[in-house]
Amino acid sequence: MKRIALVTGATSGIGEACARKLAVNGYNMIITGRRAERLDALARELSALGVGVMTLEFDVRDREAATAAIQSLPAEWQEIDVLVNNAGGALGLEPEYEGNYEDWDAMIDTNIKGLLTMTRLIVPGMVERDRGHVVNIGSVAGDAAYANGNVYCATKSAVKALSDGLRIDVAHTSVRVTNIKPGLVETNFSVIRFHGDKERADNVYKGIKPLTGEDIAETVYFAVSAPAHVQVAEILVLATHQANGTTIVRS
């Protein structure tokens, strides 16, 4: 019987890459996101690989919609083996005392509360079946704050704490929990952060070869494909010329 993986925020970037990587390796896929046309296009691509695909269109910030979507899954899709909590993002890059309230709400509601909602909906089944793997996409930003990153850094620190806490809570079971912490990854992350300012976003990656969504997907698969007795608790993934969240050597 094929295993089932659910990836949130699968319509672009790291989430899309994770969906492809898991599908290529034989997982039936549940892909979620806010853009139906992107979900449908990815579903067609993954189905061509010979795996089953379900699409769920909802925003993880909407707890009622998320709950209804998960409850709508047919019985044969309910036993989810891998949950990749990928949906998230950064908005704005200002001093904390000048921050935008709406940006704060979006980051907290997506990066923290959305992750919690999906965990609450999926993990009870994993515990009951005594198997499963939760992969949370955190960030190097969760290790230490950087200038003007205040709320985003706080949300990714929360992802680390929630990953560590869940790992403790399920230690009596065979469920595994992994926190993946990428550094500079070139996706649409910075375009979103800067509210569509592509020139400003491109400057983030100037002078350095950043990571790609595919690089992070490889790391996710490394963790989930480890032997059942091996729990990869945390992985920090940086570009070669990035030493931490703030030390970047550009050519």
Q: Is residue 248 part of a domain?
A: no
Q: Is residue 221 part of a domain?
A: yes
Strands (E) located in the chain: 4-7, 28-33, 53-57, 82-85, 133-137, 176-182, 234-237
Q: Is residue 244 part of a domain?
A: no
Q: Which two tokens stand for residue 26?
A: 């034989």
DSSP 3-state of 2: coil
Name the residue among 187, 191, 188, 194 with its Cα closest to residue 210. 187
Q: Is 205 a catalytic residue?
A: no
Q: Is residue 196 part of a domain?
A: yes
| Cα angle value 105/6/91 (rounded, 5°) | 25
Burial of 87 (0-12, 13-18, 19+ CB in 10 A): buried
Q: Is residue 243 part of a domain?
A: no
CATH number of the domain at 138, please. 3.40.50.720
Q: Which two tokens stand for residue 9?
A: 């925020």
* pLDDT over 90 at 199, yes or no: no
Q: How far apart are the C-alpha atoms of 242 and 236, rounded to whole Å?
A: 11
For residue 162, the model assigns a pLDDT of 98
Q: Which helix (H) or strand (E) holds 57?
A: strand 53-57
| Confidence tier at 67 by pLDDT (50, 70, 90) | very high
DSSP 3-state of 167: helix
Q: Which helix (H) or strand (E) holds 31?
A: strand 28-33
Counted domains in the chain: 1
Active-site residue, selected from the candidate residues 97, 101, 146, 152: 152
Rounded to two decimals, the pTM is 0.95
* pLDDT over 80 at 40, yes or no: yes
Per-residue pLDDT tens for 145-184? 999 999 999 999 999 999 999 999 999 999 999 999 999 9
Q: Which two tokens stand for residue 133?
A: 């793997």
